[in-house]
């Protein structure tokens, strides 16, 4: 008898071994129809997996992340099969599910165009209509190699040679005439795909190596309902309108140039926004008991060997030689923070020490991965490193959570929390990792907010809590993080003198809130579609005359606004007032002040807001008081 414990705690018993999809079928046809994959004792498996002993079982649907990825991965195979039918000489590389959909990399003898994408979509519809069963089978290394040599698939041969090192048989999936090297999991048949769309085709280097062959990468998305696809494509169009790269240029915030790929240039308006964010950051950190430090941008290789970055991160670091000694531009601020702490003696009475830094870091990102401010090669991390005793861990983590909540609520963001556990590539003992993870779990329990566990995604030196912001069109962005670290203090031999007069090792927290100033500005730009709240807007008020005879009055009003601390400008061009208003609207200016005969005679101003467009008459003093209140409250309208 096999006992299977389900996600809701119910236990089902079966006399003989049984396949996962048969369990789903026994639980209801609705679940079977929606099932994409499963977890047996926490391990991700295919629906075709046979259960031979008692276990826990979770049936995954499209509502689960792993279920979505199985659905998208299956669609990538359908796309690859369509490409194979239309381009018989195509060479196949990889086709994984990603965070939003899937892609597949192909080596073709010509470039894919939009007409080709339409033809591939049509062929995919045929494959889906054929409702081909998807079957898994395994081959030995030699059998797998012979199959791919027979099919003339050089990229698969290379993958097989890499995978053969573990000595296990290799997993393949077959649907109709199409066979692919793949670990899965996959849906039961091609007919399970209900709605899909191919989005675009770009170039991609094999293995991400610019010295290797350039492949063609086709991206796509799929859903179990047509309505979900429709909603996604509408959101995608909205996201294009909000693209921070486009808005950054239009609003003269920031720009990018060929002379420095991945290195953003901040323009005067962007610097105003950036400085406001940094001033807010400094003010809140001072209130929370942080001190600010600044560490060098370049330090020698010995430091990075000591910190572990050279071993775990060197491929992402820029290096140069100074006086015959190899130096690295810092990819992270933490080793510099270690040196600052270790530069003097500390007593337990000083702890916790909360040292914050707006530190410019550089990381070597592949050109194909660059994406404006969201993925750049240099950015300013709003780091802080907290040095503390073991019994201060919980209170310090809770303090950081409170500060993060204050920041995100100020900008109107909802957020979700994840606990990321030990990765395969890590430092430290099992005991240290278990203790650090349990400390974070305890603090999360006290904090009281729901969280998910993200297995294996911690930093190489410790587990972490990640904060994912949700923007105004439902996208999520990982920004804040709290990382508990037992390793760095050990490596840098950091100490404090305890109550007993002996030296002890401090525990350390790494944390960021914005994540990086640049990326946070990119997120804010898209979240507000460039229409920043008044307190953040580079230009807060624009004063507009009906005609030239009011220019003197306009300048007086502009100066009064500036003297009050308002970022104001005037538009004195010889243009019609309607044109000037449209220009101000396009530049997302929160308020426009319009002056004509009526306003001069009544000693008032007409105020037009960006949001509703209505003109409201009031005195200048009333307007200044209104602005002051909205700025002080950091209102989001």
464 has catalytic annotation: yes
Q: Whole-angstrom Cα distance, residue 18 to residue 53?
A: 9
DSSP string, 204-273: EEGGG-TTS-EEEEEEEEEESSHHHHHHHHHHHHHHHHT-HHHHHHHTTSEE--GGGTT--EE-HHHHHH
Q: Whole-angstrom Cα distance, residue 387 to residue 354?
A: 7
| Active-site residue, selected from the candidate residues 363, 422, 511, 527 | 363
474 CB neighbour count, 10 Å cutoff: 11
| Residue 466, beta-bridge partner list | 418, 481
Nearest to 493 by CA among 333, 291, 307, 355: 307
334 has catalytic annotation: yes
Report the SS3 class of residue 367: helix
| Active-site residue, selected from the candidate residues 36, 328, 334, 479 | 334
Q: Which residues contact 188 (CB under 8 A, 6 or more apart)?
A: 21, 47, 48, 133, 134
What is the chain's length? 637
385 has catalytic annotation: yes
Q: Which residues contact 319 (CB under 8 A, 6 or more apart)?
A: 301, 326, 327, 328, 329
150 CB neighbour count, 10 Å cutoff: 8
Q: Phi, psi at residue 338, to the nearest 5°?
A: -65, -45
| Active-site residue, selected from the candidate residues 46, 116, 180, 383 | 383
* SS3 per-residue string spanning 421-443: CCCCCCCCCHHHHHHHHHHHHHH
Q: 370-408 burial by CB neighbour count: b if 16+ within 10 A, else e?
A: eebbbebbbbbbbbbbbbbbeebbbebbebbbebbbebb
| Active-site residue, selected from the candidate residues 91, 245, 439, 510 | 510
Tokens of 209: 């190596």
| Active-site residue, selected from the candidate residues 85, 464, 511, 519 | 464
> Do 572 and 600 contact (CB within 8 A), yes or no?
no
Output Rg (C-alpha) for the chain, integer angstroms. Answer: 29
| Active-site residue, selected from the candidate residues 81, 153, 216, 381 | 381
Q: Whole-angstrom Cα distance, residue 591 to residue 570?
A: 12
363 has catalytic annotation: yes
Tokens of 496: 């404090």
Q: Which residues contact 592 (CB under 8 A, 6 or more apart)?
A: 541, 542, 543, 544, 581, 584, 607, 608, 610
479 has catalytic annotation: no
Cα dihedral 520, 525, 527, 533, rounded to 10, equals 100
Q: Which residues contact 331 (CB under 8 A, 6 or more apart)?
A: 309, 313, 316, 317, 361, 362, 363
> Can you say how many angstroms the Cα of residue 368 is from the centroid of all Cα atoms in its chain?
16
Rounded alpha-carbon distances, angstroms, from residue 610 to 249, 521, 560, 592, 636: 20, 21, 21, 8, 13
Q: Where would I find the beta strands (DSSP E) of 15-93?
A: 18-19, 35-40, 43-45, 50-51, 55-61, 91-92
The residues carrying an active-site annotation are: 334, 363, 381, 383, 385, 464, 510
């Amino acid at each position: 008898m096999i006992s299977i414990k389900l996600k809701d705690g119910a236990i089902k018993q079966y006399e003989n071994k049984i396949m996962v999809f048969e369990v789903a079928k026994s639980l209801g046809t609705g679940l079977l129809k929606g099932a994409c994959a499963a977890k047996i004792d926490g391990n991700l498996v295919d629906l075709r997996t046979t259960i031979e002993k008692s276990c826990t079982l979770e049936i995954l649907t499209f509502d689960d992340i792993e279920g979505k990825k199985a659905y998208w991965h299956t669609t990538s195979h359908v796309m690859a099969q369509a490409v194979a039918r239309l381009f018989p000489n195509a060479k196949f590389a990889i086709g994984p599910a990603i965070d939003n959909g899937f892609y597949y990399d192909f080596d073709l003898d010509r470039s894919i165009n939009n007409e080709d994408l339409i033809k591939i979509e049509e062929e995919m519809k045929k494959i889906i209509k054929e409702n081909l069963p998807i079957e898994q089978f395994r081959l030995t290394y030699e059998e797998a190699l012979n199959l791919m040599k027979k099919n003339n698939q050089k990229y698969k041969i290379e993958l097989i040679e890499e995978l053969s090192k573990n000595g296990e048989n290799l997993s393949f999936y077959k649907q109709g005439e199409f066979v692919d090297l793949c670990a899965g999991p996959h849906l039961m048949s091609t007919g399970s795909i209900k709605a899909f769309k191919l989005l675009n085709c770009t170039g991609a280097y094999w293995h991400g190596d610019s010295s290797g062959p350039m492949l063609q990468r086709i991206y796509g998305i799929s859903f179990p309902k047509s309505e979900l696809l429709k909603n996604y494509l509408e959101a995608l169009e909205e996201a294009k309108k909000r693209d921070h790269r486009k808005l950054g240029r239009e609003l003269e915030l920031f720009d990018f140039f060929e002379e420095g790929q991945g290195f953003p240039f901040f323009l005067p308006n962007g610097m105003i926004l950036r400085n406001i964010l940094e001033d807010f950051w400094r003010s809140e950190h001072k209130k929370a008991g942080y001190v600010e430090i600044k560490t060098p941008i370049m330090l020698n290789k010995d430091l990075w060997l000591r910190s572990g970055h050279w071993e775990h991160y060197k491929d992402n670091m820029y290096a140069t030689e100074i006086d015959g000694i190899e130096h690295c531009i810092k990819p992270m601020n933490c080793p510099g923070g270690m040196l600052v702490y270790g530069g003097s003696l500390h007593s337990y009475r000083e702890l916790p020490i909360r040292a914050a830094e707006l530190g410019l870091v550089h990381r070597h990102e592949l050109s194909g991965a660059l994406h404006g401010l969201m993925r750049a090669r240099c950015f300013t991390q709003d780091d802080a490193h907290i040095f503390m005793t073991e019994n201060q861990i919980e209170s310090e983590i809770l303090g950081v959570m409170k500060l993060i909540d204050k920041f995100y609520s100020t900008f109107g963001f909802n957020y979700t929390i994840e606990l990321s556990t030990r990765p395969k590539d890590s430092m430290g003992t099992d005991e240290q990792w278990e203790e650090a993870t349990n400390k974070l779990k305890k603090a999360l329990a006290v904090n009281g907010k729901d969280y998910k566990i993200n297995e294996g995604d911690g930093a190489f030196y410790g587990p972490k809590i990640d904060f994912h912001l949700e923007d105004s069109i439902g996208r999520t962005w990982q920004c804040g993080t709290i990382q508990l670290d037992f390793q760095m203090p050990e490596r840098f031999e950091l100490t404090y003198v305890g109550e007993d007069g002996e030296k002890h090792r401090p525990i350390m927290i790494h944390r960021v809130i914005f994540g990086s100033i640049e990326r946070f500005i990119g997120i804010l730009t898209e979240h507000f579609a460039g229409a920043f709240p008044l307190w953040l807007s580079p230009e807060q008020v624009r004063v507009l005359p009906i005609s030239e005879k009011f220019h003197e009055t306009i300048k007086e009003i502009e100066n009064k606004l500036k003297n009050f601390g308002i970022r104001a400008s005037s538009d004195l061009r010889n243009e019609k007032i309607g044109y000037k208003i449209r220009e101000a609207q396009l530049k997302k200016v929160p308020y426009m002040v319009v002056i004509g005969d009526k306003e001069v005679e009544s000693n008032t101003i007409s105020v037009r807001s960006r949001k509703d467009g209505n003109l409201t008459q009031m005195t200048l003093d009333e307007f200044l008081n209104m602005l002051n209140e909205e700025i002080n409250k950091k209102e989001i309208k």
